Amino acid sequence: MPLIVYLISHNALLILPCYDLLPHSCRYGNIVDGCTACPAGTYFVAVGAKVVGDCGNCPLGTWSDVKGSPSRTNCKGCPAGKRGKVGGQATLAAGCVACTPGKEYQNIAGQATCVPAVCSKSTYATSTLSDVTRPPQCAQCPEGTYGSVPGLINMEDCSKCSAGKYSKVVGAATPATCQLCPPGR
């Protein structure tokens, strides 16, 4: 908030912001360099800012089209399905980029990164997901198989128990679940 100065002149009370009376004093959100507003994508950080470089950038994962923003609260988060591209940007397009369909997703707004769209160990992806706002749908590797690494993209990627072994475990993560078949089987 700008300081208020009370000036009594000719029996009248004037209430004026200090920047209208004092040299080198600017509106909040502006810097002293000619009372220039902090550019869009940035915000006013502290009293005494002298050059545009003293303005704070909206953080990675956010952007702002507000010029002369007095605080970081005007920085808007990248929407779900997008991640931060570059901090301190004035447009959604300049500050945010879409997650790669089938490889990553982001279901929370205002994030700097996308989340890898991989299924965990012992599971595989049931479909290729083009919706970058949701994690992939995963299913457990079936009996007789195991998934020892994350990121399997279909059921055929689950490793089969070796010859002469079987497993009744659904969602196994290691070959240790595979047991020797009983004699004669």
3 pLDDT band, cuts 50/70/90, is: very low
* Least confident residue range of 2-11, 70-79, 104-113, 175-184: 2-11
Does 150 fall in a domain? yes
Rounded CA-CA distance 68/31 in Å is 9
Does 139 fall in a domain? yes
- Tell me the residue range of the domain where 136 lies: 117-173
Does 70 fall in a domain? no
Does 98 fall in a domain? no
- Averaged pLDDT, 155-159: 94
Identify whether the C-beta of residue 130 lies closer than 8 Å to the C-beta of residue 102: yes
User: Residues 47-101: pLDDT tens digits?
Assistant: 766 777 788 999 999 999 999 888 899 999 999 999 999 999 999 999 999 998 8
* pLDDT given at position 150: 92
What are the two backbone dihedrals, phi and then psi, of residue 54, each rounded to the nearest 5 degrees? Answer: -80, -10
- Among residues 33, 32, 68, the alpha carbon closest in space to that of 47 is found at 32
Does 129 fall in a domain? yes
Does 42 fall in a domain? no
Residue count of the chain: 185
Identify whether the C-beta of residue 120 lies closer than 8 Å to the C-beta of residue 152: no
Does 38 fall in a domain? no
User: Residues 111-129: pLDDT tens digits?
Assistant: 999 999 889 999 998 876 6
Does 155 fall in a domain? yes
Sign of the torsion formed by the C-alpha atoms of 56, 57, 62 and 63: positive
SS3 at position 140: strand
Looking at residue 184, its amino acid is G
- Total domain count, the chain: 1
* pLDDT given at position 53: 79
* pLDDT given at position 11: 46
| Residues 6 or more apart in contact with residue 11 via CB below 8 angstroms | none
**Mean of all residue pLDDT scores within the chain:** 82
Total Cβ atoms within 10 A of residue 130: 7
* pLDDT given at position 133: 92
pLDDT at position 148 over 50: yes
